[in-house]
Amino acid sequence: MTIKICNRKATAQIKKFQEDGWYIIDVTSKSQTYPQFSPFYPHGGITINDYVSESVEGLWQGLKVFESTGIDTSKFKITNMKNLKRTCEKYGKVIGHQYNSYNGNAEIVDYITARYIIYIPAYNQVLYTKLQNELNEFRTILQDPMYKGIVLLDYDTNEDPNDATKPLSHASLIKKHLEQTY
């Protein structure tokens, strides 16, 4: 079972993968077949501590804390996949993400820690509770001898949660789930 990740905009590379016998699956919000794998997709009921969000991205963006403003829980309620991003250009430097520890204290955690205790658990929650049928489709494709494997298309291709220089690829979490290496 082989799974690769490729940038959705790398058309020449995607074409080469297709020619070489790979099955291409777009898991971005622009996907015609699988937009529900996008962190922007409003599955609803995604929880981290006491927070409940419609989407993983709504949770991630809503819990960002900037030097000029705190969290924005209105991002949790967005269901049209638009206006979720909160940027440094508008709010200044990001100082972290708010996380309510189990003793009830709100603390600001750094970017990498936030990936491990907010983003990855929230996205895995979607994989485990909302996308099992689709993941089973992917498993069937992976077992088909007609294909070398699957190429997951994402805008971000960083598979290392410890690499803070680039956004983490949500496709990498799908890959880990399918490979059972989470």
Write the pLDDT tens digit of every residue in 61-90.
999 999 999 999 999 999 999 999 998 888
Which of 177, 51, 54, 63 minimizes the C-alpha distance to 115?
63
pLDDT in tens, 124-176: 999 999 999 999 999 999 999 999 999 999 999 999 999 999 999 999 999 99
Average pLDDT over residues 173-181: 92
- Tokens, residue 52: 């409940």
Strands 22-26, 149-154: pairing kind: parallel
Average pLDDT over residues 5-11: 98
- pTM of the predicted model as reported, rounded to 2 decimal places: 0.94
Q: Where are the domains of the chain?
A: 1-40+130-182, 44-111
- Tokens, residue 86: 């909160």
| 107 phi, psi to nearest 5 deg | -135, 155
pLDDT in tens, 94-121: 999 999 877 778 899 999 999 999 999 9
Q: What is the mean pLDDT of the chain?
A: 95
Which of 114, 66, 116 minimizes the C-alpha distance to 87?
66
CA atoms of 115 and 20, how far apart (whole Å): 34
Which of 25, 11, 45, 35 minimizes the C-alpha distance to 122?
45
- CB-side neighbour CA atoms (13 Å) of 140: 6
Residue 182 above 70 pLDDT? Answer: no
